[in-house]
């Protein structure tokens, strides 16, 4: 399978507005071509007597140093207008040729 889907990996970072006020925002860390495995392990669970659906998606990209020393809690993926919370990045420590990024669709994909 080829890397045919364009994704953005974003990181939460400090910034300043035009008058110098400090703030936090999501900025693009890298843009990459990816392979996608949708509903890799989608699951349903019961919480507070209601059913919730959690959509897991696995993105696979070529290795990049840009992700080294980054906390997954400060990263997310933007793909086709939807946002995905990064849960883990496999292969980074071994510098594998391909990284496996496990994600969960955020808020139904709403920005």
pTM for this predicted structure: 0.79
Residue 29 pLDDT > 50, yes or no?
Answer: yes
Percentage, residues of the chain above pLDDT 70: 80
Over range 8-22, report the average pLDDT.
87
Rounded to whole angstroms, how far apart are CA atoms 58 and 4?
14
- Nearest by Cα to 61 from 84, 77, 80: 77
Over range 62-89, report the average pLDDT.
94
Percentage, residues of the chain above pLDDT 90: 59
Rounded to whole angstroms, how far apart are CA atoms 82 and 111?
7
Over range 58-75, report the average pLDDT.
93
Residue 51: pLDDT band (50, 70, 90) is: very low
Over range 79-83, report the average pLDDT.
94
Residue 106: pLDDT band (50, 70, 90) is: confident
């Amino acid at each position: 399978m080829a890397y045919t889907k364009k994704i953005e990996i974003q990181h939460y970072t400090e910034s300043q507005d035009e008058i110098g006020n400090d703030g936090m925002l999501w900025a693009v860390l890298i843009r990459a071509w990816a392979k996608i495995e949708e509903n890799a392990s989608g699951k349903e669970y019961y919480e507070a007597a209601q059913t919730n659906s959690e959509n897991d998606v696995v993105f696979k990209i070529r290795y990049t140093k840009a992700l080294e020393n980054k906390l997954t809690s400060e990263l997310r993926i933007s793909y086709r207008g939807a946002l995905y919370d990064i849960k883990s990045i496999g292969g980074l420590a071994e510098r594998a040729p391909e990284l496996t990024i496990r994600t969960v669709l955020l808020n139904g994909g709403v920005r």
